[in-house]
Amino acid sequence: MTGKIETTIKVFLSYHRFVGILLIVGAIGYMVMLSDPQFNNRCYISEKALSPGVVEEQFNQVNFINDYYAEVQKMYTVKNLESGKFQKWLEEEMQKIGLHAYTQNFTFSYPLILGEKKLQGINAVGISRAYRAARTEALVLMTPLRAADSGAASHERRTDGSVALMLALAKFFRRQTHWAKDTIFLFTEMETVGLQAWLYAHHGESSLLKPSISVSDPPHRSGSIQAAVALEFAGVSGWQRARLHVEGVNGVLPNLDLVNTVVRIAGKHGVRLELHGSDRQPALLLRSLLYQASGSPASLHGLFLPFDIPAVGLSGEGRAAASSSATRTAGAVVEAIWRSLNNLQERFHQSFFFYALPAIDRYVSIGDYTPPLGVVLLALALAAIDSLVVGFGDGDASTKPKSAGGGVVGPVARLCVMAGCFGLLALVAPAYFIRTAAAFRIDPGAGMLIGLLAVQAMAAAFPLMFPNMIVACHPGALRLAACLSLGLSLGAVSLVNFGLAFLSALPLAPVCLLAAGPDRLPAVLRFGIGTVALAAASPIGLLLGGCYAAGGARSLVSAWTCAEYGALQGYVEGQLLGSFTYRLNCLMLLPCWLLAWCQLFARAWPRPAAPAAAAAAAEETSTESEEPAKDK
């Protein structure tokens, strides 16, 4: 009976490649199926205290917005922003309104990019105190300070409308007595640098800032921040269409209740929200995973999320004041959001923190979107079990190793260490790549991408430079190491960034299973197909493919340019914001890819015969030569 079970297991495992590919295809189909409304859920509000849209908005001070917008248009220039004149004007205006206002100086130095140059920036902050509470809680409404003197493209990035709207809301909020939480109006310079400086200073943790950022302590503080909203609008009108941003650093998401509150209030006022610029549900789900896998914040709101502060971002082009009704919509939407958040009696906790959005008003919970990754890992587990049960894949039980000293585990372990060394090289070398590029007057992004391409080329050439290390590895043992390392790495990455783990598993798992290729194919064809597939699934290949999939490239040249920016951004954000996407790619995915690459060469090159097998062959040859002599 035991023999029949063992035979059945061996027969089943002999088709593990076919079963594995079916499992991966099924995982992809399952994920696409989740985009259909029949297999996901409609969003709902779990925290009943929010009651979005129940109150009647009272904001009708369109003249506040128009007056401030006209003044901002005059003052909001690059010269005034760099000199601090504009921030000083903001401070004075907020003090006139009755806010506790101040300006905060900070410096930023990053020798790798800026050399010895130090940049100085100024944040403007105003705090509207609550009337009906102990002032131990606060909400943050913020916008980045971006000025441009001319140019249509630069005008789209201006935030004139956001600045004017926030000043008008500050003046309006001071006249209301129902606020139970402080409102912090935050205007930050230098994008993420200024916001990060203020966040650490507000929490009294300036000593934990990166050495590249130094900031002064704020003269006024508020309570614990319950939620935050980041606005980026060039105009105060034209809010009929806006973009919603949810992803933060390392793919962290805000509580789903906050997202649903913003969506419902926007729908009540006729504002159409877009997520990642797509309305098609399969494409929207894919882009959500891509944004999460990048580890970059979708907007400035993403820097609040590592502090356990739920936050979302709203952006759009906007226009100058066209009509009073269109201008009033901007203020009414923000007021309604603030009225809902003002009702919170405790921190966001009742709804999901782990979810995917196939549509702006539908969600997929973590229990529904994680099984596809488990199915992919099961395919890798079957390949690993096959290597153990069927003599490391050669089908001969005599080749199974008896111990680590049997000469099978040692060569594979040394190869795994070398693969890790290549990953470590890719992690620490970008600083030298960027400095070398600066010496030759090359763009830092181009220099870094060329350097990473050189590291990958060295890793790809490793089997050719050290063929003895590859030949010494048993193909089955190497396949076991490749499948186990990839499966464990993907499982570990999924705990911190599911999008990165799943999107990396889709190309890497099939090529890892098929790196050796079916025995029925000719050796040359098998090697050629494996080489092309593994080159496409390499880290640089996945980066270029991600640029195409994200819609940021239309040709090979534009994809290369997008990849330059993406590689540099990932490295710099890892240094400044604590993003670990680049580190995970270097220390986990690159070594796993190299093991699969070496597996291809180990199968293609003939292995030397073992001493026992060679002695048996020699004895058999001598026996055959003696028999003709006896016949004679």
Q: What distance in Å separates the CA atoms of residue 12 and residue 226, rounded to the nearest whole number?
A: 55
For residue 614, the model assigns a pLDDT of 46
pLDDT over threshold 80, residue 383: yes
Average pLDDT (300-329) is 81
pLDDT over threshold 80, residue 613: no
526 or 289, higher pLDDT: 289
Average pLDDT (317-346) is 80
- Per the rule left: phi > 0, alpha: psi between -120 and 50, beta: everything else, 170 is alpha
The pairs formed by 61-65 with CB atoms below 8 angstroms and a separation of 24 or more are 61/168, 61/171, 61/172, 61/331, 62/321, 62/324, 62/327, 62/328, 62/331, 64/167, 64/168, 64/171, 64/172, 65/164, 65/165, 65/168, 65/236, 65/321, 65/327, 65/330, 65/331
519 or 414, higher pLDDT: 414
Average pLDDT (383-400) is 60
Q: How confident is the model at residue 92 (pLDDT cuts 50, 70, 90)?
A: very high
318 or 481, higher pLDDT: 481
pLDDT over threshold 50, residue 528: yes
Average pLDDT (378-404) is 63
For residue 591, the model assigns a pLDDT of 93
Q: What distance in Å separates the CA atoms of residue 623 and residue 617, rounded to the nearest whole number?
A: 10
pLDDT over threshold 90, residue 133: no
pLDDT over threshold 90, residue 448: yes
For residue 2, the model assigns a pLDDT of 67
Give yes or no for a contact between 220 and 127, defined as CB atoms under 8 angstroms apart.
yes
Report the chain's mean pLDDT, rounded to a whole number.
83
For residue 620, the model assigns a pLDDT of 52
- pTM for the structure as a whole: 0.87
In tens, the pLDDT along 550-599 reads: 655 567 778 888 889 889 999 999 888 888 899 999 999 899 999 989 98
Sequence-distant (≥ 6) Cβ neighbours of residue 371 within 8 angstroms:
27, 30
For residue 521, the model assigns a pLDDT of 65
Q: What distance in Å separates the CA atoms of residue 180 and residue 272, rounded to the nearest whole number?
A: 30
For residue 17, the model assigns a pLDDT of 82
Average pLDDT (405-429) is 87
Q: How confident is the model at residue 394 (pLDDT cuts 50, 70, 90)?
A: very low
Residue 30 Cα distances to 361, 369, 506, 509, angstroms: 20, 9, 13, 17
Q: What distance in Å separates the CA atoms of residue 57 and residue 136, rounded to the nearest whole number?
A: 25
Kindly list the domain boundaries of the chain, sorted by start residue: 7-36+367-392+408-607, 52-360
- The CATH number of domain 52-360 is 3.40.50.300: no
For residue 519, the model assigns a pLDDT of 60
For residue 16, the model assigns a pLDDT of 79
Q: Which of 58-62, 293-297, 409-413, 626-630 has the lowest mean pLDDT?
A: 626-630
Q: How confident is the model at residue 158 (pLDDT cuts 50, 70, 90)?
A: confident
In tens, the pLDDT along 187-244 reads: 999 989 999 999 999 988 776 677 788 888 888 888 899 999 999 988 776 677 889 9
* Strand ranges across the sheet with 137-144: 213-215, 100-109, 118-128, 182-188, 137-144, 224-233, 311-316, 241-245, 272-275
For residue 520, the model assigns a pLDDT of 65
For residue 154, the model assigns a pLDDT of 46
Q: What distance in Å separates the CA atoms of residue 264 and residue 44, rounded to the nearest whole number?
A: 10
For residue 586, the model assigns a pLDDT of 93
Q: What distance in Å separates the CA atoms of residue 334 and residue 402, rounded to the nearest whole number?
A: 69
For residue 204, the model assigns a pLDDT of 82
Q: Is the C-alpha dihedral spanning 276, 279, 283, 288 positive or negative?
A: positive
Q: Is the C-alpha dihedral spanning 306, 307, 312, 313 positive or negative?
A: negative
Average pLDDT (76-105) is 92
% helix / strand / coil in the chain, to the nearest 5? 60, 10, 30
Report the percent of the chain where pLDDT is more than 90: 37
For residue 549, the model assigns a pLDDT of 65
DSSP string, 84-125: THHHHHHHHHHHHHT-EEEEEEEEEE-HHHHTT-EEEEEEEE
Token duo for residue 46? 């779990």
In tens, the pLDDT along 242-282 reads: 899 999 999 999 999 999 999 999 998 888 888 887 666 67
Helix (H) or strand (E) holding 275: strand 272-275
pLDDT over threshold 60, residue 611: no
pLDDT over threshold 90, residue 632: no
Amino acid identity for residue 320 in this structure? A
Residue 288 Cα distances to 247, 503, 507, 555, angstroms: 8, 11, 18, 23
Q: How confident is the model at residue 476 (pLDDT cuts 50, 70, 90)?
A: confident
Helices (H) and strands (E) in the chain, counts: 26, 12
Helix (H) or strand (E) holding 186: strand 182-188
For residue 126, the model assigns a pLDDT of 95
Residue 561 Cα distances to 292, 294, 590, angstroms: 21, 16, 22
Q: What distance in Å separates the CA atoms of residue 199 and residue 305, rounded to the nearest whole number?
A: 11
For residue 36, the model assigns a pLDDT of 87
